[in-house]
Amino acid sequence: SQSCRVPCTPCRVLVRRAVSLYAVATSLHRVLSRMSASGSSSGPLGTTPSTQSKPLSGAVPKRTLRAPTPTNRLGNPTLKRSESLKENLDHHPKRQRAAAPTSAATAAKQIMDLKKRRRRSRSTCDVGTAPLTSAASRNALKASGSTSTLGSLASKHKGSTMSVAPSAPKSKGSGSSAALAPSAAGKRKPWDLQGRVKDLEELVSSLAGDKKELQILHKEKEQQVEVLIKDNSELQVQLEHVKRLTLENDSLKEQLRHKTNEVAKVTAELDSTMTKLGCCQREKQSLQETVSQLTGNYAGLQAEHSAMQLLLQNEQEKCAQLADSLRQSQEREAEKDQQLQDAEMIRRDLHNTLQELKGNIRVFCRVRPMLPSEEREGERPSHISFPDEKTVELVKPDTEKVMAFPFDRVFPGSATQAEVYEEVTHVVQSALDGYNVCIFAYGQTGSGKTFTMEGPPDLDLGCPNDSQLGLIPRALQQVFMSAQELQNTHHWEFTMVASYLEIYNENVRDLLSTRPRSKQTACQIKQEKDGSMMVTNATKTTVTSPEQIYELLRRARKHRAVGATQCNEHSSRSHSVFQLRITGTNRQTGVGSRGLLNLVDLCGSERLDESKAEGARLRETQHINRSLSNLGNVILALSQKAEHVPYRNSKLTFLLMDSLGGNSKTLMLLNVSPREKNLAETINSLRFATTVNQCDIGTAHRTMQASSHY
């Protein structure tokens, strides 16, 4: 058979069916030829009963033909399926588009032919058969050699069908024969081979007719395929053209959209520009009016400018004169500053000379007033008198012997805190000048040492104008005031570092520590290479105002050891030492100074037979008396110019080593009780103070240094 020029699926199906039918017809022809050759020697049509009941050797298992199905006149449903495929193909959207160029008359003719074929196929009887491929049929016939397996074939007679059943297997030595099964309407007898052959011949002739029709249909399909190919080519060209036009159309639409947007944008800009133009025109008109006004003003300003030029010239001349005056004033000011610096140096030298003339160890004596409780008891200080400001006299009641004790200054009980400090202020000033200064209060217990140094116990240190302020807060006020004055007038800058210690039973304690005493680290006294004394583990606070100092004093007052004895209800049981290290630098000259201010409140000396101390108080009294005795020994050694001064015999003298020697200024403020029962202890204190007052420890020297900033 011929094949289509184009691999069309419907055409392939038709060709396959035609080839299959041709193979079936050829197989039937061979079977009939063999059956006619053997018909003369066996029963009707050459068969025997034994062979009729046995199937051909190698045949497939028996199967019954299906019920007849309506077919076309060719007796094969393949043509019906091909026509259905053709109809679906003709109605396919793509085929409709491809066949669009054909004329309406041609399309109508094709539809009429299709309807005729359908009516012709309905008027005939269809034969149902199992489709067999040509290759499968040929292989089956070759394998059997003498038999063939036939599927169910449809008959052309009315309602008559037949089924070809496979023969039973042959016994050894027997021949082969085909068993034909009659249809359900009128089955032929098994021995009626001629009838069966006749049926097969009719089937073959029918298949031959179908084959011719299929060939004709195949040629028509080929012609249609050629037309469709040609139409498809034309449609492809048209499709490409349409696609190209579509792309161009889309591009033009996009360009049109962009142009439309640009036109809208330009239109908006034009409107905005027109609005701005209107504003500019109005502004131009306003500016023109302003220009007219300014032109008139300009003429007036030119006249004023000419006048101002003359004034400016005069002012420039005045400025030149003032500049000369300013330069001369600055020169005079520089000279004055230099004179002030020289005067300050002269003042310091004169002040130091005056203090040296008065003595580097000075002793003041202060007799405390009678307490209200003592006055109520009728006591009068009749045994004490003050011939002048520098002498105190005592009269023994039993012998009426008068003893006179001269000092640098004597203060009676009526003297105020301010009067006492007035004599101390010159010594405090020396600390700012770069000297080591030590002021300590000495006397028996209950003589008013703590009152003189700090003030009453209930004193509010935040009130700088309180008349009860002691020497320590007053001295610190003076230090800060003098430092501020020197900074403003003589270009000095000062740094001050404060610490507050107590010596209790020969142990150094830090009174400014915020930790509990049980958790404090022990303080140790060490001597630096330059001879200054340093205390390890002690709190050192940089202070910039008196208020900070007052806060430190409040904290120290809470921590100091105080106890009651037979001699004093509020007796200090330790030596307290307030230290303020002052470092100064002159910004103009680059000269620096370093001073140390020690303010010491010593414990009161006690007689054991009077205090009747026991236990812890006894040990405290012993340490107090021993340290005071060592202080006297140090001062005595200094007065005698001894080679060895026993500073290390007590913690107090070792701590004050750099403030008791020749390079320091020392002020001892002796406090005396006015009570007659304390006369013996008063005499001992006055004798010790007289010994100290007679000491000459040499000339003090300032500690000067070059500033590292210059």
The full DSSP string for 673-694 is ---GGGHHHHHHHHHHHHHHHT
Residue % of the chain over a pLDDT of 90: 22
89-101: average pLDDT: 45
For residues 510 and 538, give the distance between their C-alpha atoms in angstroms, rounded to a whole number.
6
Is 276 within the bounds of a domain?
Answer: yes
Residue 566 has pLDDT above 50, yes or no: no
Query: Do strands 409-411 and 361-367 pair parallel, antiparallel, or not at all (unpaired)?
Result: parallel
| In the block, residue with structure tokens 């140790």 | 524
Is 232 within the bounds of a domain?
Answer: yes
User: Do 328 and 368 reside in the same domain of the chain?
Assistant: no
Is residue 672 a contact partner of residue 368, using CB atoms and an 8 Å limit?
yes
Structural domain total, the chain = 2
User: Do 312 and 422 reside in the same domain of the chain?
Assistant: no
Is 111 within the bounds of a domain?
Answer: no
For residues 586 and 594, give the distance between their C-alpha atoms in angstroms, rounded to a whole number.
12
Q: Where a domain ends, among 334, 368, 395?
A: 334
| Phi, psi (deg, nearest 5) at residue 388 | -150, -170
Number of H helices, E strands in the chain: 17, 20
Query: Tokens in use for 412?
Result: 């009676």
Output 421 or 45, whichever has higher pLDDT: 421
Which pLDDT score, from 0 to 100, does residue 261 have? 94
Which pLDDT score, from 0 to 100, does residue 160 have? 36
Distances (CA, A) of 21 to 1, 87, 153, 155, 431: 12, 23, 11, 15, 141
Is 15 within the bounds of a domain?
Answer: no
For residues 320 and 325, give the distance between their C-alpha atoms in angstroms, rounded to a whole number.
9
| Phi, psi (deg, nearest 5) at residue 497 | -125, 125
User: Do 323 and 375 reside in the same domain of the chain?
Assistant: no
3 state DSSP class of 593: strand
User: Do 700 and 647 reside in the same domain of the chain?
Assistant: yes
Residue 326 has pLDDT above 70, yes or no: yes
What residues are designated binding site for ATP?
A: 443-450
User: Do 228 and 300 reside in the same domain of the chain?
Assistant: yes
Amino acid found at 173: G
Query: Tokens in use for 649?
Result: 């015999």
Residue 120 has pLDDT above 90, yes or no: no
Residue 254 has pLDDT above 90, yes or no: yes
For residues 474 and 472, give the distance between their C-alpha atoms in angstroms, rounded to a whole number.
6
* Sequence-ordered strand ranges (E) for 123-257: 153-154, 161-164, 180-181
pLDDT in tens, 369-389: 888 888 888 778 888 999 999
Residue 643 has pLDDT above 50, yes or no: yes
Is residue 182 a contact partner of residue 162, using CB atoms and an 8 Å limit?
yes
pLDDT in tens, 168-192: 333 333 333 333 333 444 567 778 8
Question: What pTM value is reported for the model?
Answer: 0.52
Is residue 125 a contact partner of residue 162, using CB atoms and an 8 Å limit?
no
Q: 416, 463, 471, 415: which is closest to 439 by C-alpha?
A: 471
pLDDT in tens, 21-36: 777 777 777 776 776 6
Residue 362 has pLDDT above 90, yes or no: no
User: Do 382 and 508 reside in the same domain of the chain?
Assistant: yes
Burial of 3 (0-12, 13-18, 19+ CB in 10 A): exposed
Query: Tokens in use for 420?
Result: 């006492």
Query: Tokens in use for 540?
Result: 């050192």
User: Do 385 and 268 reside in the same domain of the chain?
Assistant: no
Highest mean pLDDT among 87-96, 346-355, 599-608 belongs to: 599-608
Residue 572 has pLDDT above 90, yes or no: no
- Of 372-376, 665-669, 671-675, which gets the smallest average pLDDT? 372-376
Query: Tokens in use for 643?
Result: 């080679």
Q: Where a domain ends, among 287, 318, 334?
A: 334
Residue 37 has pLDDT above 60, yes or no: yes
59-72: average pLDDT: 40
User: Do 364 and 326 reside in the same domain of the chain?
Assistant: no
* Concatenated DSSP letters of 313-370: HHHHHHHHHHHHHHHHHHHHHHHHHHHHHHHHHHHHHHHHHHHHHH-SEEEEEEEPPP
Q: Which residues contact 507 (CB under 8 A, 6 or more apart)?
A: 522, 651
For residue 241, give its domain range: 212-334
User: How many other CB atoms are there within 10 angstroms of residue 136's CB atom?
Assistant: 13
Is residue 578 a contact partner of residue 599, using CB atoms and an 8 Å limit?
yes
Output 385 or 196, whichever has higher pLDDT: 385
Reported confidence tier of residue 242, pLDDT bands at 50, 70, 90:
very high
For residues 242 and 237, give the distance between their C-alpha atoms in angstroms, rounded to a whole number.
9
Is 122 within the bounds of a domain?
Answer: no
For residues 531, 533, 534 and 539, what is the CA-based torsion angle, rounded to 10 degrees?
Answer: -140
| Phi, psi (deg, nearest 5) at residue 695 | -75, 150
- The residues with which 153 forms a beta bridge, in sequence order, are 162
Is residue 129 a contact partner of residue 140, using CB atoms and an 8 Å limit?
no
Which pLDDT score, from 0 to 100, does residue 108 have? 62
Q: Which residues contact 208 (CB under 8 A, 6 or more apart)?
A: 25
Output 74 or 278, whichever has higher pLDDT: 278
User: Do 326 and 383 reside in the same domain of the chain?
Assistant: no
Is 17 within the bounds of a domain?
Answer: no
- The residues with which 542 forms a beta bridge, in sequence order, are 497
Q: 657, 652, 608: which is closest to 630 by C-alpha?
A: 652
Domain of 402, CATH number, reads: 3.40.850.10
406-418: average pLDDT: 92
User: Do 329 and 363 reside in the same domain of the chain?
Assistant: no
Q: 104, 112, 95, 97: which is closest to 224 by C-alpha?
A: 95
Is 472 within the bounds of a domain?
Answer: yes
- Of 239-248, 332-341, 350-359, 459-468, which gets the smallest average pLDDT? 350-359
Report the run of H or E that residue 504 belongs to, with start and end: strand 492-504
3 state DSSP class of 11: helix
Amino acid found at 632: G
Which pLDDT score, from 0 to 100, does residue 338 have? 74
Output 675 or 148, whichever has higher pLDDT: 675
Average pLDDT, the chain: 75
Residue 673 has pLDDT above 60, yes or no: yes
Query: Tokens in use for 622?
Result: 């012993």
Reported confidence tier of residue 129, pLDDT bands at 50, 70, 90:
very low
3 state DSSP class of 361: strand
User: How many other CB atoms are there within 10 angstroms of residue 568's CB atom?
Assistant: 19
For 144-149, the CB contacts below 8 A with 24+ separation are 144/56, 144/57, 144/58, 144/59, 145/58, 146/34, 146/56, 146/57, 146/176, 147/31, 147/55, 147/56, 147/57, 147/58, 147/59, 147/176, 147/178, 148/27, 148/28, 148/30, 148/31, 149/59, 149/60
Is 197 within the bounds of a domain?
Answer: no
For residues 559 and 405, give the distance between their C-alpha atoms in angstroms, rounded to a whole number.
37
What residues are designated binding site?
A: 443-450
Query: Tokens in use for 627?
Result: 């340290």
pLDDT in tens, 599-608: 998 887 766 5
User: Do 312 and 366 reside in the same domain of the chain?
Assistant: no
User: Do 327 and 370 reside in the same domain of the chain?
Assistant: no
- The residues with which 543 forms a beta bridge, in sequence order, are 496
Which pLDDT score, from 0 to 100, does residue 663 have? 67
Residue % of the chain over a pLDDT of 70: 68
